[in-house]
Structure 1
């Protein structure tokens, strides 16, 4: 004999509908079957709930709540919000994805294609996003607006035996009604300001350069604050400077930037110092209230509403200014979001600066400060045939210095020689340390004789330090690999040494 009970809204059961107790001979186990669901009743109950919803989010929540009374499944509704599918409502589950990138998982696939999916075995579907370990089957259907455009998905996941065929038809019908109700209520919910900030924070973290980072930060400031312009005033060697615009500025935004750029350095200093001393501030944009002295330039440019937020430390940071020519009333929440944004932007900027310093250290020889083999390899790979000369340089008798006076004396010799050779080169020529006492200069020349003259200038510079060098010169040939050119320069160097050292030899084809 079987008795049917129905789950209530709190996850329990009502004796009026669904759960079974199988008392057949030899069996005394109680288990859920949910086989006798009246699907027409499911659709009616959800439809009634939908008609009472006053917002899109409420429509989603009530759909999930009503459906959960009949379906022993993990249920969720995800709608397109900006560039992601964001979970608007879901039943209790071990895990719920707050947002899913488009085309990710079964839900993303269904949304992107507009074609529903009935998955009888989730382990066999490579797109399945695991929420709980006992899920076996999934139904996902697109939620469309009345014009047939997908705006989200309705997703149901089961962890026990279920006849998916009637549930798929019910899910399609409910998704159609949900889409129509959401459209009638104005469409999916707008992205909140905190969600915008999170999205922009991700873009700032991924920014590869300072320019990209500042662009992302200023774009975020405008979009999250809803004010029309954003400017960063950052510390510089000669005082505060106005950061570059995120995009081509509007006429008014250009006027604000120009006013700050033309303002006396002392005024910008006070603007930055005020923010760091007293913290973030904002105007209420009320007419008849005179600005403080450090804000005069902004007021003359037409700023009527302003949020001012400190960025970074007082001695190395600056201030984020978010402004508008309209008379508006920012609230403390807006200021708090700008403070979070400024903190994230500075942290990302510090990360980029640290990475740049590490890259610079990795590309420099720690003894002489010259670039070494890693950057040298990339440089000679870009050599121009007939125009780029490689000068292989070796210190004459260097081993005897180490053997006689020790390695510290040898190190001092190399440092002094590196400085002398750098000073003898022209602007734009590059000097690399490629080994113990081996150097290579990469120079751009019009003809081989010019390369020889520069090499002879290097030998003269070395002699003035009390040492001598031998130099081999080679110019890349058309189609010649860079390592072959370097090999010819080395061979020319050995020839110079065999000819008596302290001289230059040019490699000929």
Structure 2
């Protein structure tokens, strides 16, 4: 089909000035071009860190977004250079949109300074003379770029798109601190307000979350006033949010806040969105604020509520995973760490500095046989607490069997390890029981398993000598 390229240029050029938004300019360019060619046509503009398809025609489906430097369109955007592809089957960057495409032209859409802001892409499935189309596409892209910039530039990321992006980041947060920091940043971004603070349930009542590394000035003042107000004031704010739901200010001057919000008023807050965070019995409240007297629209409040829900779900998931990991690495009866963590710890033992204390409860089988396993369990729990209390800061106690414990301690001399072991035997006697303790220090080049075996041998030397004592394995 013979194409009048001058008419193509004229038709698009006449239509562009009537567009009132960048999206309209792109859509009219695509639909006008489609009257002159059966090609698949699309315009992709940069929105944040991706190319987003904002107008397209001629295909059953197109890619909504394309990551940077991906495909021919990403290559053209990154380089600012036109791509002429007579045979897409030999171009490794081709992104398949239609099964019958044979050729493609992709040109950068430039701003008046010559910087790429997007691409105009055309793909054909039949014979086509690419040479005149290159010139036409480049001229159209230049005029489209000028019109887009005259209308304020490429469209900004919508708040819904921001929410989706932040939701993905919250789901991927590796730690609770990372997640809470991401949640506060997301709240500021989605609401367009300047400050965000979380009040969370704690062991001693509601408390402020850990401060971010670089709080805004308003966040600093809000935190200071809420800290000064104390737990009771925080509790009232949390209770109000969970009892009545989300709330927001109207931006009207001359109306005093309720007593609950006096600390925020003293901090200089003039706009406030409050959103319940998590359940009433274990959650808290998300406060999003600004010094300007604004009127948040209901959409802002709804998006903030959705964000708070996503953040709480992600936080609850992290806490659940932490509990499961703790359960998997600790003894459910005594709460002490058990075999798995112990194996990791002794693998890092320092020869001559790390001592292993093998501990066995004297006469434990008799307790179980005489009084039952519940009595034996109570004995183990009480003994574990007593032994923990006798250890120094940094010493570690593990339960590795029924009535078998191991302490891993750092010492300067073997005699220091013996003294710690003697404190353990004294602690056991205070509970009405006795223990036998074998002490061994790793030798150079010795495996941790062999060190533990020597500690066990020293323990049984105590047993043979009458129990209730300490024996140091030969160096």
TM-score range, shorter chain: 0.7 to 0.9
CA distance in 2 between partners of 1:404 and 1:162 (Å): 95
The equivalent residue for 2:17 is 51
The equivalent residue for 1:99 is 65
The equivalent residue for 2:309 is 343
Cα distance, 1:325 vs. partner?
1.8
SS at match of 1:186: coil
The equivalent residue for 2:296 is 330
1:474 aligns with 2:450: no
Task: Provide Cα deviations, 1:231-267, integer angstroms capped at 9, x if missing partner.
Answer: 1122222222122333423433322221111114333
Cα distance, 1:496 vs. partner?
4.4
1:439 aligns with 2:439: no
- Residue pairs, 1:353-368, within 5 angstroms: 353-368=319-334
CA distance in 1 between partners of 2:97 and 2:359 (Å): 64
CA distance in 1 between partners of 2:122 and 2:212 (Å): 43
Moved more, 343-352 or 429-438: 429-438
Cα distance, 1:413 vs. partner?
6.5
Moved more, 489-498 or 333-342: 489-498
1:497 aligns with 2:460: yes
- Residue pairs, 1:342-421, within 5 angstroms: 342-394=308-360, 418-421=384-387
Cα distance, 1:79 vs. partner?
0.9
Distance 1:411 1:328, change over 3 A: closer
Of 301, 316, 323, 2:282 maps to 316
Task: Provide Cα deviations, 1:100-156, integer angstroms capped at 9, x if missing partner.
Answer: 222233322322232333445545544444444444444333222222211112223
CA distance in 1 between partners of 2:377 and 2:239 (Å): 46
Gaps of 5+ in 2: none
CA distance in 1 between partners of 2:52 and 2:215 (Å): 32
Moved more, 356-365 or 385-394: 385-394
SS at match of 2:186: helix
Cα distance, 1:353 vs. partner?
0.9
The equivalent residue for 2:185 is 219
SS at match of 1:428: coil
Cα distance, 1:367 vs. partner?
4.3
Distance 1:353 1:133, change over 3 A: farther
CA distance in 2 between partners of 1:348 and 1:445 (Å): 42
Decide whether the 8 Å contact of 2:358 with 2:459 is kept in 1: no
Distance 1:267 1:369, change over 3 A: closer
Decide whether the 8 Å contact of 1:473 with 1:504 is kept in 2: no
SS at match of 2:106: strand
Matched residue count = 471
CA RMSD in angstroms comes to 3.1
Cα distance, 1:290 vs. partner?
1.7
- Residue pairs, 1:258-337, within 5 angstroms: 258-337=224-303
Decide whether the 8 Å contact of 1:416 with 1:465 is kept in 2: no
Distance 1:319 1:137, change over 3 A: same
The equivalent residue for 1:83 is 49
The equivalent residue for 2:140 is 174
Cα distance, 1:373 vs. partner?
2.9
Decide whether the 8 Å contact of 1:462 with 1:469 is kept in 2: no
Cα distance, 1:393 vs. partner?
3.8
Decide whether the 8 Å contact of 1:51 with 1:181 is kept in 2: yes
1:454 aligns with 2:417: no
Cα distance, 1:350 vs. partner?
0.9
TM-score scaled to structure 1, two decimals?
Answer: 0.82
Decide whether the 8 Å contact of 1:281 with 1:309 is kept in 2: yes
CA distance in 2 between partners of 1:221 and 1:389 (Å): 50
Gaps of 5+ in 1: 1-34
SS at match of 1:227: coil
Of 24, 29, 38, 1:63 maps to 29
Cα distance, 1:308 vs. partner?
1.4
Larger RCO (alpha carbons 8 Å, 6+ apart): 2
Decide whether the 8 Å contact of 1:395 with 1:470 is kept in 2: no
CA distance in 2 between partners of 1:118 and 1:465 (Å): 88
Cα distance, 1:169 vs. partner?
3.9
Decide whether the 8 Å contact of 1:143 with 1:176 is kept in 2: yes
Task: Provide Cα deviations, 1:386-432, integer angstroms capped at 9, x if missing partner.
Answer: 43322234567878999999988876775565445334323331112
